[in-house]
Chains A and B, each alone.
Chain A
Amino acid sequence: MLDLFTIFSKSGIVLWYFQGTSDLFTNTVNELIKNVILQERAVQSVWNNNSLSLQYRLDNEFELVFVVAYQNILKLTYIDKFLTEIQLRFRDKYKQAIQNCQFANDFGDFKQDFDEILESCEREAEQLAQVQRKPRKYEESEKSSKTVASMIETKTTFIGNLIQSATGAEKKSEEVENLSPNLSDNFEDKKIISPGPRQMRRFEPKSKKNPASPQAKAKGKEPKKWVESIDMNSLDYSEQNKSSEDLVNSQYASKKDIGTLAGSLKPIEVDYDDQEDLIDEKKNKSKPVSKQNGAKQSGLFGSLKNMIGGKVMTKETIEPIMEKMHDHLVAKNVAAEISRKICENVAQNLEGKHFSSFQFATSIIKQALHESMVQILTPKRRVDILRDVFETQKQKRPYVIVFCGVNGVGKSTNLAKITFWLIENNFKILIAACDTFRSGAVEQLKTHMRHLNALHPPENHAGNTMVELFEQGYGKDPAAIAHDAISYAKDMNRDVVLVDTAGRMQDNEPLMKALAKLINVNNPDLVLFVGEALVGNEAVDQVTKFNQALIDNSPVKTTNPDLVRTIDGIVLTKFDTIDDKVGAAISMTYTTGQPIVFVGTGQTYADLKSLNAESVVKSLLK
């Protein structure tokens, strides 16, 4: 009944496998490794891929992985037990070979054990199912233990039972306590709930509406005077009366920024307070500080390690330390749920590992957590926008980037910064103003365009205007504007199109549909989710709902699930406001699995950096 069972080492060599079908299993297992184990999500026990369900077990002592795959519809219950027994049997049988890394051994005679264990597990599961399927005898049921008198129902008990069955079936226990008093109030009053006041108003004659005095309306509202002398002209950004003189007054676009962003972006450095230490290892005060990189523990202690017996990581040692790490991460603004999942994953990876008596459990766990988080922040694919723009230049089409996110995170500001970076690298940009909702959005982009063109005038770039703005005013369909912008860019040989969209809450369904439409119609090269570093637990919700909305509203969802467009990268903004509480980076990356492409560190054009995983994780664990 199993489609596949395989045992392979963490280093990639397959030791033994059993194939129930004729399909090659390599790809399926590779997908499992890429999407689950490498993404540090090994805590979830079952993973679904097309029609297959995969369950796996990691053996940390011998660095082995056991994987079982079966059809989704089967719902086998004995797999957990089966995996545990197989793991024990395999380890006992081939202990020597595995310890000496003799992977070329013939593990073929394991087939007998495998069949034996499989048979016994299946038999037990069937027996258990039999027991559950038989109907209960009367003596076993609850009714036989009650008296007749207790079963007579009056009105109040009947209603009470109704409430309990209705609320208990669907909701959790805490909410039952909150809800039932309200519900029982309604029921006991036996009031017929009248149609709400809104419905009643429908029948009122219209003449009753607001007999406002016409004189009041003619007067109008007087603008409130805050400061006596305001030059209204200086606040009017709609006319074309601005020249490059305003650059002198502008604090955001200074000439000293020119030339600073050429080439790839510099990685970010996080400052943190060096004096505090995470967990006070009192014993460690006299000994030298344990080094970060585990491999550096060579020398005397390393060689003695092999002579003296070691300890094993058990759940009891790991748990208290993990609790502290979890609290610490949450204090550093990592979403609570994500922190818990990461800690559980690290705990699972460490269980059963041997370590020498010279090492402290705390330092090993800290080291493992450090590595795990660096792995989460490391991109799973190559991130090099400049190289990709060169590629699309060769293909004679523009590179399209769409910026999406909730309100007020810094989409337009960071779009301007990225524009600056790209024109420093000599690319011609077209900004598409697809935020047709917020007042002043188009004028904001116009101002940025003027500043950027003043910083990089056409004379310095062979007569080409480096930044152009494509706008069609307010109120139009953003998807159509984007489409027109891209064709315009193609005709005018612009290298990159940056599409600015309106901010929207993740719960707002019609707006999410509109965003999905914009993305699906125009098929951009990169969809960037802009999130601010200040956000806490909300980050998980935002990113999940955005992703889900894009998947749900995709036209190829059922026909071709590989072609569904989701978020491709994250822009982390307002990084300068958070000091060392950099947990939002981890929350967002963990939820989507996508890399952080840009980090915004301020409001001037040069405040754009790339992510440095080591630095961020170091400050997180400090």
Chain B
Amino acid sequence: MLERIFEEKSVLGVSVAILVVVFTLLFWLLKRSKSIKKCILLVGASNSGKTRIFCQLLYKKNLFSQISIVSNQGEALIEENGKKKLVSLVDIPGQDKVRRKFFSLHKKTAKGLVFLIDSSTFQKEIKDVAQFLFEILTDDQLAKSKMNLLIACNKQDIDLSKGQAFIKSNLEKEIELLRKISGSALQSTGSSGESKINFESLLKNNKKQFEFSNLKYFNVDFCETSCSQEDEKLFDLKNWLLIN
């Protein structure tokens, strides 16, 4: 009976074509689902310790690091308190010249962000750090869905480094100021497609001063980390990675 149906050459041709289309669709869906939203991005200003932490998590070794020109990608096996998980990490270079390029390259596949801050030079670099954080918070692609953000105050092993409470309150004041500056500007689009959203639309409550808990699309946590050999303090970071 099947032979009779397939005697007609056109039926054969059409069914083959449909099969090909179906296979292509399946293949494409498979590829797409693999690349969506599975990475944790390590971002931060230059010299905040991202590559060091990446090496520590991935290779369990403390390697020397220089300024990164390209991004680091890898799968790290995180173990803490008996729990294990394979996490896909991407280390975005922090230098102003290259970070926007790599950030826009990888932000589509990000399901969580770790923002590292150099706690020892925080007071001098607060404006640059706040500027970068503000750019991340106002990024339209990330604001489309809820994102988990961990702000890790790194280099806690250095004596003069600030604690997370100090850093949190100062960042909030800085971002409040940046909000005031950009507040009156209208939405503008660059031709690269990155449109900056009005910051007011990203807050739950527009009347108050800026607080991290007031953000609609970001779930912000703070922690302290250090990856020096004598005083390693990565369990907060690892716990967060295990949960998210």
Residues of A within 8 A of B (CB): 8, 10-14, 17, 26, 29-30, 33-34, 37-39, 63, 101, 103-104, 262-264, 266-267, 269, 293, 295, 298-300, 302-303, 371, 374-375, 378-382, 384, 386-387, 390-391, 425, 612, 614-615, 618
The 6 closest A-B pairs by CB, nearest first: A263-B185, A104-B59, A12-B68, A14-B64, A614-B192, A262-B184
> What are the residues of chain B within 8 A of A293 when measuring CB–CB?
105
Shortest C-beta distance, B227 to chain A (Å), equals 14
Shortest C-beta distance, A221 to chain B (Å), equals 55
Closest to A259 in B: B184
- Contact call A612/B191, Cβ cutoff below 8 A: yes
Complex CA gap A302/B64 in Å reads 34
Complex CA gap A287/B244 in Å reads 42
> What are the residues of chain A within 8 A of B178 when measuring CB–CB?
387
Shortest C-beta distance, A575 to chain B (Å), equals 15
- Contact call B97/A13, Cβ cutoff below 8 A: no
The 8 sampled A-B contact pairs (Cβ below 8 Å) are A10-B68, A10-B70, A12-B66, A38-B67, A101-B74, A104-B55, A267-B188, A378-B98
- Contact call A103/B96, Cβ cutoff below 8 A: no
Which residues B195-227 have CB closer than 8 A to chain A?
A: none
> What are the residues of chain B within 8 A of A380 when measuring CB–CB?
95-97
Stretch at the interface among B27-35, B150-158, B160-168: B27-35
- Contact call A38/B97, Cβ cutoff below 8 A: yes
- CB-contact partner of A269 in B65, B96, B191, under 8 A: B191
B190 at the interface (CB under 8 A from A): yes
- Contact call B70/A11, Cβ cutoff below 8 A: yes
Shortest C-beta distance, B179 to chain A (Å), equals 11
**B28, B70, B192 pick with most chain A CB within 10 angstroms:** B192
**A13, A300, A378 pick with most chain B CB within 10 angstroms:** A13
- CB-contact partner of A299 in B28, B68, B105, under 8 A: B28
- CB-contact partner of B177 in A11, A263, A379, A390, under 8 A: A390
B231 at the interface (CB under 8 A from A): no
> What are the residues of chain A within 8 A of B190 when measuring CB–CB?
267, 612, 614-615
> What are the residues of chain A within 8 A of B24 when measuring CB–CB?
300
B61 at the interface (CB under 8 A from A): yes
Closest to B94 in A: A12
- Contact call A13/B65, Cβ cutoff below 8 A: yes
Complex CA gap A387/B181 in Å reads 8
Instruction: Say whether, besides A10-B70, A382-B131, A386-B181, A17 and B64 are in contact (CB < 8 Å).
Output: yes
> What are the residues of chain B within 8 A of A390 when measuring CB–CB?
177, 181
- CB-contact partner of B69 in A11, A14, A104, A298, under 8 A: A11
Which residues B37-85 have CB closer than 8 A to chain A?
A: 51, 55, 58-61, 63-72, 74
Shortest C-beta distance, B43 to chain A (Å), equals 14
Shortest C-beta distance, B137 to chain A (Å), equals 16
B236 at the interface (CB under 8 A from A): no
> What are the residues of chain A within 8 A of B72 when measuring CB–CB?
11-13
- Contact call B96/A381, Cβ cutoff below 8 A: yes
Instruction: Say whether, besides A13-B55, A378-B96, A295 and B105 are in contact (CB < 8 Å).
Output: yes
- Contact call A375/B61, Cβ cutoff below 8 A: no
B146 at the interface (CB under 8 A from A): no
Complex CA gap A10/B51 in Å reads 11
- Contact call A298/B35, Cβ cutoff below 8 A: yes
Shortest C-beta distance, B36 to chain A (Å), equals 12
B112 at the interface (CB under 8 A from A): no
> What are the residues of chain B within 8 A of A11 when measuring CB–CB?
51, 68-72, 91, 93
> What are the residues of chain A within 8 A of B101 when measuring CB–CB?
371, 374-375
**B67, B177, B182 pick with most chain A CB within 10 angstroms:** B67
> What are the residues of chain A within 8 A of B64 when measuring CB–CB?
8, 13-14, 17, 26
Complex CA gap A10/B70 in Å reads 6
**B61, B96, B191 pick with most chain A CB within 10 angstroms:** B191
B232 at the interface (CB under 8 A from A): no
Complex CA gap A299/B31 in Å reads 7
- CB-contact partner of B97 in A298, A375, A384, A386, under 8 A: A375
> What are the residues of chain A within 8 A of B96 when measuring CB–CB?
378-382
> What are the residues of chain A within 8 A of B74 when measuring CB–CB?
101
> What are the residues of chain B within 8 A of A386 when measuring CB–CB?
181
Closest to B99 in A: A378
Q: A299-B28, A375-B101, A378-B100 are in contact. List 14 more A-B contacts (CB 8 A).
A: A11-B71, A14-B64, A17-B64, A26-B66, A30-B66, A39-B97, A63-B70, A101-B74, A104-B58, A378-B96, A378-B98, A382-B96, A382-B127, A614-B191
- Contact call B188/A34, Cβ cutoff below 8 A: no
B13 at the interface (CB under 8 A from A): no
- Contact call A387/B127, Cβ cutoff below 8 A: yes
Closest to A390 in B: B177
> What are the residues of chain A within 8 A of B95 when measuring CB–CB?
34, 38, 380
Shortest C-beta distance, A255 to chain B (Å), equals 18
- Contact call A298/B66, Cβ cutoff below 8 A: no
Shortest C-beta distance, A612 to chain B (Å), equals 5
- Contact call B69/A37, Cβ cutoff below 8 A: yes
- CB-contact partner of A12 in B65, B131, B177, B186, under 8 A: B65
- CB-contact partner of B51 in A13, A264, A379, under 8 A: A13
Instruction: Say whether, besides A104-B55, A264-B182, A269-B191, A14 and B31 are in contact (CB < 8 Å).
Output: no
Shortest C-beta distance, B70 to chain A (Å), equals 5
> What are the residues of chain A within 8 A of B182 when measuring CB–CB?
263-264
> What are the residues of chain B within 8 A of A103 when measuring CB–CB?
55, 59, 63
Complex CA gap A34/B93 in Å reads 12
Closest to B183 in A: A263
Closest to A58 in B: B69
Shortest C-beta distance, B35 to chain A (Å), equals 7
Shortest C-beta distance, A295 to chain B (Å), equals 5
Shortest C-beta distance, B222 to chain A (Å), equals 23
- Contact call B177/A387, Cβ cutoff below 8 A: yes
- Contact call B105/A12, Cβ cutoff below 8 A: no
Shortest C-beta distance, B48 to chain A (Å), equals 12
> What are the residues of chain B within 8 A of A295 when measuring CB–CB?
105
> What are the residues of chain B within 8 A of A264 when measuring CB–CB?
181-182, 185
- Contact call B28/A14, Cβ cutoff below 8 A: no
> What are the residues of chain B within 8 A of A29 when measuring CB–CB?
66
> What are the residues of chain A within 8 A of B105 when measuring CB–CB?
293, 295
> What are the residues of chain B within 8 A of A299 when measuring CB–CB?
28, 31
Complex CA gap A63/B93 in Å reads 15
Shortest C-beta distance, B129 to chain A (Å), equals 10
> What are the residues of chain A within 8 A of B65 when measuring CB–CB?
12-14
Instruction: Say whether, besides A11-B70, A34-B95, A298 and B63 are in contact (CB < 8 Å).
Output: no
Complex CA gap A303/B101 in Å reads 23
> What are the residues of chain B within 8 A of A375 when measuring CB–CB?
97-98, 101
- Contact call B66/A8, Cβ cutoff below 8 A: yes
Complex CA gap A262/B181 in Å reads 9
Complex CA gap A11/B94 in Å reads 11
Shortest C-beta distance, A130 to chain B (Å), equals 38
> What are the residues of chain B within 8 A of A381 when measuring CB–CB?
96, 128
- Contact call A34/B98, Cβ cutoff below 8 A: no
> What are the residues of chain B within 8 A of A267 when measuring CB–CB?
188, 190
- Contact call B69/A38, Cβ cutoff below 8 A: yes
Instruction: Say whether, besides A37-B69, A263-B182, A12 and B188 are in contact (CB < 8 Å).
Output: no
Shortest C-beta distance, A8 to chain B (Å), equals 5
Closest to B193 in A: A614
- CB-contact partner of A33 in B28, B59, B66, B188, under 8 A: B66
Shortest C-beta distance, A2 to chain B (Å), equals 18
- Contact call B131/A30, Cβ cutoff below 8 A: no
